[in-house]
Chains A and B, each alone.
Chain A
Amino acid sequence: MTYERLTLRYAIISTLFLGLAGIEGLLMRVQLVNIPLFDFEHYYAMLTVHPFVGIYGWAYLGVIGAFYYLVPKLLNKPLYSLKLADVNLWTFVAGVLIVWSSGLLTKFGSLYTLYWPLPVERFPPNSVVFFSSGLLLIELSVLLFIFNIFATVFSRKGESSGKTFKSLLLSAFGLEGLSQRFSMALSKLGVKSSKRMLNGGSGSNPQPMPVFVVAVMRGSVDAVLNALVLAGAGGLLLAFSLPALLAGVMLNPLIVDPLVYKNVFWWGLDMIADGDVLIWVAGALYLLAPLLTNRKLYAEDVVRKVILADLLISMGVWSHHLMSDLPQPSFMRLISGQFITWGEFFTMGLTFFAVLMTVWLARPVKLTMPLKFMLGGIFGFMLGGGSGLLQANYALNLVMHNTQWVPGFHIHQMVLVGLGGVIFAVIYALLPMLTGTELKSQKLSNLHFWLWMIGGVGMAFSMGLAWTPGMLRRTLYPDTTIYLPYMSSAMFFGILLAIGFLAFIINLVHTYGLRTLVGLFIPQRKTKP
């Protein structure tokens, strides 16, 4: 197994999951224009698995595959375990497929929010056990990935040989500056150990790691917390559903407080949306911008501080999901829900400014495919992030919460246009490094870019505008026609997205050949003539 082969495997599986999430999305769009393809139970089961396939199957696998290649390369030392990284892929795939099957076979339809006590109150124990097993496997896979990355960063091989753990820890999290300032302050106070603290005990100043690696490490803290909380939710579901399944014992679900559960759940879940995504995306942009423009990143010292701020902010914003839970204390909704969320406006604002200034100062730049997707991704994050700030508002949430504004203007804008743009930028940048060949057809690549961007923005706006005549999210309106123009428009743009995605797939197959792509999954010795 080589790094290239491993990352390509991740990329292909991730792309297949994107296709699956897209098919689900289109089928649900058909239902939303009042063509009843499914009964309500099946529809909501699909709506439940859709984000798991999209976020864990597509985005997480795409990101993890890229990190397994880039982190060792940038640190100039081997990955802790390539074999574990390969096993990690299959545990992830198994987890996502189990969750997906729980929807298909048992119609588990509690939505990704898993609001307590909905799963155990409305769905049969066998479906809850089925779903929870998949969820636990996914979270275990996230932890395996983090372990492998941490073990790599902290290993004393290659350029890190001779360094102390403390020195590696400080530079991995970008804390050298803070450590030095702290030691100087101690030195002024006459504390003798300051020199040792200054250099981490290694005898030399800790060398800063690339800002991309610092972002990976800081985002990983959020990923661990997220995995632990979601695994905890999965464990709670099992604790209630297994006794019911095995012994017919029904525990009273209201012994778990729904508001406390909701706070803990959103604190953990938001570590993805407001932690991983923003920090890892920022890291990817800090890597891409200099690489694509051949210029040093603008204001690198500031962006290092920005991703540390992002890590702290991500731990305090969860109440923006509880703005409409009026038993939640007002100060929590106002401070955690609104004011701390605005911290992301500054961190992402400074991130985008640094990246755009890097591109601007490098003029004239060639608009390559990765650069186009990177700029498109920033555009998507600006639109989706701005709409998120409007709904995370003490006053405005009252008329926006759970309306189509949220999945339209915010979620799909962020995920498809923002995150999708950055992930495709990384794919287009990495493919030549991994394979030695660029995608053959520039026309198909351009078609992919424009249809993805127009389709993504168009679908997000069509959905979001359905908020004005009061259309809710998570709600079917089989007897109502007033939302049909919005949903028809969303479907049209969804089809554009799908055509753009197909252009990418055709280009991949046309360039590398189906046999080569499938051959990546066959053990190497069997492929030798």
Chain B
Amino acid sequence: MEKAEKRWLVILVAVAVVFNATTLSPLVPWQNWLFWSPPTPVEEFHIRMKNYTFQLPPDGITVQVGEPVRFIVTSEDVTYGFGVFREDGSIVFQMQVLPGYRNSILWVFDEPGDYTIRSTEYSGPYHPHMVLPNAIRVVE
């Protein structure tokens, strides 16, 4: 290996180490509760998906800012996605919803407001209709 190539390889290794270490670290807020120290959820919300529809808990979904909650989503037919979006449309998080599996994610909301749920995986031609505006209320 030539000298210039060795130097280039050192640069590549440095970029790889810095990037991977940073994104694994608690500098990414959700890595705190998803990777390093998952807390016990204060509440669990069960959501069922079937034939392009969401079935939410009968009392709706209301969450306190800063409290860990768990979303458990199941599908009875095909693969869907479970995505939560802010009022400006930007994404908070998402996960895939595989049929026959208990798909769950722990989350801690840091801002009050009304959040929209949308299926983030294509589940057939009527997939664009799979949206529930203001389905999650996050309060102080």
Point out residues on A near B: beta carbons under 8 Å: 40-41, 43-44, 107, 109, 111, 113, 115-118, 121-122, 254, 257-259, 262, 298-299, 302, 322, 324-327, 338-339, 342, 345-346, 349-350, 353-354, 357, 389, 393-396, 398-399, 401-403, 467-472, 474-478, 482
Contacts and interface: CB of A to CB of B under 8 A. Distances in A.
A346 B121 contact: no
Nearest to A111: B122
Contacts of A262: 98
B94 A258 contact: no
Which of the four size classes fits the interface of chain B?
A: 35 or more
A475 B121 CA distance: 9
B95 interface: yes
B93 A259 contact: no
Interface in B1-33: 1-2, 4-5, 8-9, 12-13, 15-16, 19-20, 23-24, 28, 30-31
B83 interface: yes
Given A41-B125, A478-B128, A350 B89 contact: no
A118 B123 contact: yes
Contacts of A41: 125
B115 to A, nearest CB: 11
Interface stretch (B41-49, B60-68, B100-108): B100-108
A349 B8 contact: yes
Contacts of A258: 79, 98-101
Select the residue from A107, A113, A298, A353 with max chain B CB neighbours within 10 A.
A353
B50 to A, nearest CB: 11
Contacts of A115: 78-79, 121
Given A326-B95, A345-B16, A394-B23, A474 B122 contact: yes
A342 B94 CA distance: 23
B12 A469 contact: no
- Interface of B, secondary structure class, is mixed
A357 B16 CA distance: 22
A325 B128 contact: no
A111 B81 CA distance: 15
A420 B137 CA distance: 47
Contacts of B23: 393-396
Given A349-B8, A353-B8, A394-B24, A469 B78 contact: no
Given A338-B20, A402-B81, A44 B2 contact: no
Contacts of A322: 96
B79 A324 contact: no
Contact of B128 (A40, A109, A117, A345): A40
Contact of B94 (A121, A259, A324, A468): A324
A118 B121 CA distance: 11
B78 A121 contact: yes
Interface string B114-140: 000010111111111000000000000
Given A299-B5, A470-B90, A395 B28 contact: yes
A39 to B, nearest CB: 8
A468 B90 contact: yes
Select the residue from A299, A339, A470 with max chain B CB neighbours within 10 A.
A470
B94 A398 contact: yes
21 contacts: A41-B125, A109-B124, A115-B78, A116-B79, A118-B78, A118-B122, A118-B123, A258-B101, A259-B101, A325-B96, A346-B9, A349-B12, A350-B8, A350-B9, A395-B30, A399-B92, A401-B94, A401-B96, A403-B91, A470-B89, A476-B128
A488 to B, nearest CB: 17
B85 interface: yes
B96 A324 contact: yes
B23 to A, nearest CB: 5
A44 B100 contact: no
Contacts of B16: 342, 345-346
A407 to B, nearest CB: 12
B16 to A, nearest CB: 5
B110 interface: no
A482 B2 CA distance: 52
Contacts of B13: 346
A403 B93 CA distance: 11
B2 to A, nearest CB: 6
Contact of B91 (A111, A302, A389, A399): A399
Contact of A109 (B79, B81, B86, B125): B125
B77 interface: yes
A398 B120 CA distance: 11
Contacts of B5: 299, 302, 350, 353-354, 357
Select the residue from B2, B30, B31, B78 with max chain A CB neighbours within 10 A.
B78
Contact of A327 (B88, B91, B102): B102
Nearest to B73: A326
Nearest to B79: A115
A402 B130 CA distance: 15
Given A258-B99, A346-B16, A395-B24, A302 B105 contact: no
B104 A326 contact: yes
A317 to B, nearest CB: 15
